[in-house]
Structure 1
Amino acid sequence: MKFFPRILDLSTRAVLTAAWAALLTVGSGRGVTGTALVLAATVIVVGIGWPWLLQLPATIGSGLVISIAGIGALAVVYAASREPWIRSVPLVFAFAVVLAFINELTRPDDRSRLTESLLGTISGIVIVVGASGWLAADMSTVGHRVVLLAAVAIAAAAVVAALPVYGWTSFSTTTLGGVAAAVVVAQTAVDVRMLTAVAVGTVTGLMVAATQMIFVRIPSLRSARAAMATVVVPIAIAGPFIYAIARLTLNV
């Protein structure tokens, strides 16, 4: 992991979050398939890094279950022929939880920290399954605008989070950065209502600010795998909220 000598630094991770959000913007510009590919990479990164971040005892098994859950959720949304695009996602989630139990039952070790390992795996499943909300929102022309707006807002919020400001000041400025970016983009480039822009900016700003506040307690993570998970988690967990905003404010 010498290729990532500085990835453990909080500011570096925030900048990488901004870069990943920019990648999502580019992918979305290529259509639904582009969005799906970027999100697939996102859930795989979470699958690889989340067990290391939580120091779960069965990193390979937990990571595999998390990755399968994320890819499965994206696949059923992508394959949906009509609305609601997310109708099969709960089935994927339920199947993934069953896999998490099977993973724990088939562990070759003494199954120590069983409850912690199971809950850690399920928390990762929740994160990656939620990422499918981005794709569901992107399945319509109007929802596509929300995806572009949200990706830009996350990138802006992450850039603000990289500044050498900490505590509640950082939390506030990061959130406001997301709102400001969303409003500006809505006024200049993406045709959406102001209410939608404010909602998207607030949600994305809060996601970045909250995760940064949590991870600032871990200024030097133990591995690059764990560090990369913290880079993409703010994007993944915003998925359900982005889809909800698109549905509620734009009738997607």
Structure 2
Amino acid sequence: MRAPLGSALTLLLSLSTLSTLFARELLIAGIVVTIGLLAWGWPRLLELPAPRSATFLIAASGLSALGVGWLLNTELSLEVPISVVMAIVFFLCIMREMLRPSRHRLTLSLSGTVVGCLFSLLCVTWLQAFSLAQASPWRADALFASLTLGLCASLAVLALPGSGKARVPGSIIAGAVMCSLMATVFTSPILTILLCGAMGAVVAGVAVSTHYLMVRVIAAYDNAGYAAVGAAPVAVAGVAVLLFMRAGIQWLGLG
């Protein structure tokens, strides 16, 4: 099972919602750990040639994006600066292949490294979602906590014994239920609570889909593959969390 690691990473990210002094620092620490696990495990998961240079590029892309988000320190959109970072990373990935002595498995090496860098870049969406929550009234912060804990519950259910046919719907339901329960803290209209539950279900569905996509790789059962499979769903789910944070602030009146 790779779900316990993903659940632990999400729990680490959720600690930022429980602290008033070092909330941003705790979140950044969780993102750095996620990027580190991705950078270490991804080249081994796909068995890429020259894994050390791939690890360096994946780590550099995620940390560069995180640095941009930290320096801007804003809830404004980061799509443009992150796109610039991705363009630079893509160029570096091509240069890596040109400098590599062997052209063995060239297509796999280039595409695998680029996708790993993209996953690493997606980790910065957690920082932007958190910035949105911090810049808005407390109910937006509570929505962030709800979505994060819902994802944590969803990935934890995947660790339970049983067939995938039972654990997949159970994981999505767990995410929806946890998010709905947390929503009762900051809102009372039943429709809003149900909408929050639907958000939790979608975030859980994104994470579960990514998880099962990763575990189909043979190397997912190695120690390094364990790291990538656990971290990838957390990175991708950050995109859904950011989208729903924007939707909650604009449409549900939480801002």
TM-score (normalizing by structure 1)? 0.86
Structure 1 residues 247 and 105, CA gap change in structure 2 (3 angstroms): same
Unaligned runs of 5+ in 2: none
Paired AA for residue 76 in structure 1: V
Aligned residue identity for 1:246 = M
2:155 corresponds, among 155, 158, 177, to 158
CA–CA separation in structure 1 for the residues paired with 2:63 and 2:141: 20
Q: Which residue of 2 aligns with 1:187?
A: 184
Q: What one-letter code is carried by the residue in structure 1 that aligns with 2:98?
A: L
Q: CA RMSD in A?
A: 2.2
**What's 2:69 paired with?**
77
Q: Match of 1:54?
A: 46
Alignment-mate amino acid for residue 91 of structure 1:
V
Conserved 8 A contact 2:38-2:116: yes
Tell me by how many angstroms 1:66 deviates.
0.8
Q: Does 1:68 align with 2:67?
A: no
In the TM superposition, 1:12-91 aligns within 5 A as: 13-29=2-18, 30-86=22-78, 87-91=80-84
User: What secondary structure is seen at the aligned counterpart in 1 of 2:213?
Assistant: helix
CA 145–85 in structure 1, closer or farther in 2 if over 3 Å, else same: farther
Contact 1:167 1:213 (8 Å CA) reproduced: no
Task: Map 1:199-210; keep pairs closer than 5 Å.
Answer: 199-210=198-209
Corresponding position of 1:173: 170
Residue by residue over 1:73-131, the C-alpha shift from the partner in whole angstroms, topping out at 9 and shown as x without a partner, is 111111115452414111111111111111111113x1211111111011111211111
> Is 1:94 the equivalent of 2:73?
no
Q: Percent identity at matched positions?
A: 25
Structure 1: 5+ residue stretches without partners:
1-9
Structure with greater helix share of residues? 2
How many residues get paired? Answer: 239
Q: How many Å separate the matches in 2 of 1:149 and 1:221?
A: 30
Residues 17 and 81 from structure 1, CA distance in 2 versus in 1: closer, same or farther, beyond 3 angstroms? closer
With over 3 angstroms needed to count, the CA separation of the structure-2 counterparts of 1:196 and 1:144, relative to structure 1, is: farther
Task: Give the C-alpha shift of residue 176 in structure 1.
Answer: 1.0
Does the Cα contact within 8 Å between 1:49 and 1:229 map onto a contact in 2? Answer: yes
TM-score for both structures, normalised by structure 2: 0.85
Asked whether the equivalents of residues 41 and 225 of structure 2 are also in contact (C-alpha less than 8 Å), the reply is: yes
Shift of 1:220: 7.0
